[in-house]
Amino acid sequence: MGPDATVTGPGRQRTAEAGEAGPGRQRTAEAGGAGAEPATAWSEYLAAARQLDGVRRSAAAAAGEQARSAEAAREELTVVRTGLASQQERLRELGVPAISLVPSPPELTEAARSMAGGPAAVLAALRAARGRAEAADAALAARGRLRPGSWPARARNLLVYGPLALLVPLIQVVVYAATGTGAATVAALICGLPMPAVAFVAGWVGIGRMFRASPGERLDRTVRFGGLVCLVPAVLVTAGLLLALLAG
């Protein structure tokens, strides 16, 4: 083989084949990179969509919770207002000054500060106020049991009818004990005949002055019971004195 001979053997064939195969492999690699970019974008889109859906669900849940809290707060406010109106009326009947039943500016400021956190904070504050109002009602009820105005009608009215019914008979007994079967005792008996009716009328008026009925109710003066209370002592004492005068 001479120095000017051209090599056309397998080596050059492999070089040519390698040269021909190079651009094809490059195009394949480029195609693979272009396919990976849409897949990555789709994954990012799905992640963003999931995140947005989570935010939307959280916002909807928060809005629903606020709506439920607002509705519960309105219902609680109605109950608290009704209870406070009734309690205010009872305190006025007990002689509490009206100015003491109105909140002061610092109390209003503190209440506004406690309710600045939205419907949930308002609901919590209203429930706390309702609890305090119910505790105050319990304290008033415990004190009211010691007041005659809260007693049953007959027991309460007996405090008025009883002393008036016993007043004249006691005077008659004292006169008889002091003078015996004389003219003074007879005069006391005669003067005492209309006294049960006078005692009943005085007791009827006194009950209206001493006790008050609840709003929308009528004061029970227990008329029949009061009449018996005023009549029985007078009849018993009069009968006893008559028997004593006849025996004397």
Under DSSP, the state recorded for 101 is G
Tell me, yes or no, if the pTM score tops 0.75.
Answer: no
The phi, psi pair for 245, rounded to 5°, reads: -70, -40
Span 95-152, pLDDT tens digits: 777 777 777 788 778 777 777 777 777 778 777 878 887 787 777 666 655 566 667 8
Whether residue 75 has pLDDT greater than 60: yes
Work out the mean pLDDT of the chain and round it to a whole number: 76
- In the prediction, which pLDDT does 166 show? 93
Whole-number pLDDT of residue 227: 92
The residue behind tokens 């503190």 is: 110
Q: What one-character DSSP code corresponds to residue 181?
A: S
- The 10s digit of each residue's pLDDT in 27-64 is 444 544 555 677 787 888 778 888 887 887 887 777 77
Specify whether the backbone of 103 is left (phi greater than 0), alpha (psi in -120 to 50) or beta: beta
